[in-house]
Chains A and B, each alone.
Chain A
């Protein structure tokens, strides 16, 4: 299942309605969002301010931004919408804002299709990134490693061992 399909399911109602109103498949993609350095840099900043994780290296955010750009390239309508959003950010002076001001600005546009495209894509991409999983301490697939029966399913030692049957 591609990112755009997930986005239809898990974006906000407004974004889902927008997406649903468009053709599900574009037979010949003639346009894509600009992936130039200025756009990418602004998108990186936007994602980092919206989802600030000091422990995440740029590589995780870069992969996420690629997914956002891909989602924004899904059809001409999104391309136009995305570029307008980026242009509006620039006009608002987003590039020169400190983190607090940038966060406040994003808060002011969180209902927009532009912001929700970024948010909905990031939710299903950034936290599905295996490097992110490693940093968060999530160990991912376990069956091929014999589960956790010998790998710590019960290694919590800061509480007493509880009973497992009713008295």
Chain B
């Protein structure tokens, strides 16, 4: 074991998912010792199960959370605002796999879209040009299909319906990727066997996650002290205002203190904001790094919605890679559609167990039964688009407490009128697509508990507008970094994992440089 003494001031990374796992690998590769704290257990591939509810009980972050606001999730799933993973590898262990990049205009949302009433749009302090080399690196790390010499995945049944519909309604930019699962062996991992289980943990190992790549490689360097079941509860600071330790609860419920020379927070946007809010002190009465009062605000979750369609012939959508189908034609800024920003359409499939719970929460009766009876003849897609940042969409500390007696996160969300307009437009386009290939019925499924959680510690050029600078470093605390999707100034339309990984690679390079130069 690569033990680092608790009184040795190390780089402490909180969370081992897309952001934290990548930080651990990149920093240890550069020779920098790291303590990697992970709240969840360390599961192996053999531990995963091809069963939706069983896997959910095993993997999902089920600690206490509360909800408020007018979003439907607060009504149907009041204790489950987000569907995330609590395990080594974080939510990369159940991500679907789509890896589109953010587009140039999406880094300049305020300039491109102009003033949108009620939205707190801002341009990122970085551009696509700044990110491009790191996107290359992230795509190679993940092994994204279609790119850098990686072959595409073949068409599965759900994709055949999706792509033929796309062609018939005139879309051009459709493909089976880019996608983060190998079509053929790459980087020590096998090619897909099309087993159809993505959200349950990939037993096969053909899909990229930090569980199979970054975390084990970080440990192999001998410089990473991985501590599973270590739940960070507070970041403390010294008299000068620099972070100096992380307090965490270990697997036995005991409090531990790890000294820190730098802290990288990557707990996914909800827990990252919560941890900073929990880390208040006399010097930082509103929470650490929160002089701007922006910590927790501008929470984004992507537009989302699903379209399911029934046909008079079998589809068997559950066979094969779940999200290996993507249409990019609607990802552009064209206000003539009645909204700003754009959206992707991506194939999606659920088994009967999850479909029953999510297709129309609360539903029952003959129509519902008929949907389920025709399961074999169903095709499905997910709509994922840019939602508007709003100051009042916000993670705060709840009146309820978690298993450690600490205030849980409350997630407040209201759809912006732009979100509603885009979702309605996208539903119509999705219906047209499926009708073009002979759908006998369609259903508009509302958003699931959030899987894309973004923007609670946003990146800003001006310290008053956000929480972190262009490197993801806290404006208020020079040795505190945010290393996950919380840094996103705006959410763009793309699935966020690739951008989280690219940002972490960029941040790790910067942090390594600063550490070696003695600036931190």
Contacts and interface: CB of A to CB of B under 8 A. Distances in A.
Contact of A6 (B53, B155, B192, B318): B53
Contacts of B156: 148, 153-154
B152 A154 contact: no
A51 B375 contact: no
A162 B369 contact: no
Contacts of A161: 155, 160
Nearest to B57: A1
Contact of A143 (B167, B195, B369): B195
A159 B194 contact: no
A166 B146 CA distance: 9
Q: Chain B: interface secondary structure?
A: loop
B174 interface: yes
B155 A124 contact: no
A163 interface: yes
Interface residues of B, number: 68
Contacts of B53: 1, 6, 124, 128
Contacts of B373: 53, 55, 136
Contact of A147 (B75, B194, B316): B194
Interface in A126-167: 126-128, 132-133, 136-144, 146-149, 151-156, 158-167
Nearest to B379: A156
Interface in A82-121: 103, 107, 110, 119
A159 B161 contact: yes
B93 to A, nearest CB: 15
Interface stretch (A8-16, A28-36, A67-75): A8-16
Contact of A164 (B78, B152, B194, B351): B152
B257 to A, nearest CB: 31
Interface string B141-163: 00000100000111111011101
Contact of B77 (A10, A51, A165): A10
Given A6-B53, A159-B161, A51 B152 contact: no
Nearest to A155: B157
Nearest to B172: A167
A51 B78 CA distance: 24
Given A12-B76, A139-B318, A142-B195, A127 B50 contact: no
A138 B318 contact: yes
Contact of B362 (A12, A156, A165): A12
A6 B174 CA distance: 37
Contacts of A81: none
B356 A123 contact: yes
A52 interface: yes
Interface of A: 1, 5-6, 8-10, 12-13, 16-17, 20, 50-53, 55, 103, 107, 110, 119, 122-124, 126-128, 132-133, 136-144, 146-149, 151-156, 158-167
25 contacts: A1-B57, A9-B79, A12-B75, A50-B364, A52-B366, A110-B364, A127-B353, A136-B352, A136-B372, A138-B351, A138-B375, A142-B195, A143-B195, A147-B193, A147-B195, A148-B194, A154-B155, A156-B157, A159-B164, A161-B155, A162-B160, A164-B154, A164-B175, A164-B176, A166-B172
